[in-house]
A = this chain, B = another copy of it.
Amino acid sequence: MNGHLYKCLNNANRRKILYCIGKEEKCVNEIAECLDLEQSLTSHHLKDLYDCGLIEKKRKGKRIYYKVSEPEIIEILEKGKELGDRLEKRC
């Protein structure tokens, strides 16, 4: 899923993960619990996000911590959300 930014963003769970680790790094289980997702599914999405370059990872002992790789990613998400909301009202 390399270089497919929009593909990565086109999934609510992946977007939630980005918001979840936008300000603070978290390990896989924390993320999974935070979003009420299965560990396996969380790992799959994290891989997609990582391959796309949207997140970074760092191992600490058994755990692997992920965080969003640059702040503008969250800004774009927020702009996208605002735009989406605005467009919906238009109808």
Contact = CB atoms under 8 A, between A and B. Distances in A.
- If over half of A's interface residues share one DSSP class (helix, strand or loop), that class is named, otherwise mixed; here it is helix
Scoring A5, A84, A91 by chain B CB atoms within 10 A of each residue's CB, the highest score goes to A5
A16 to B, nearest CB: 13
Given A6-B11, A79-B79, 11 more contacts: A2-B88, A2-B91, A5-B80, A6-B9, A6-B10, A7-B10, A9-B10, A54-B87, A72-B83, A76-B76, A76-B83
A69 interface: yes
Contacts of A10: 6-7, 9-10
Number of copies: 2
Interface residues of A, number: 26
Interface of A: 2-3, 5-7, 9-11, 15, 52-54, 69-70, 72-73, 76, 79-80, 83-84, 86-88, 90-91
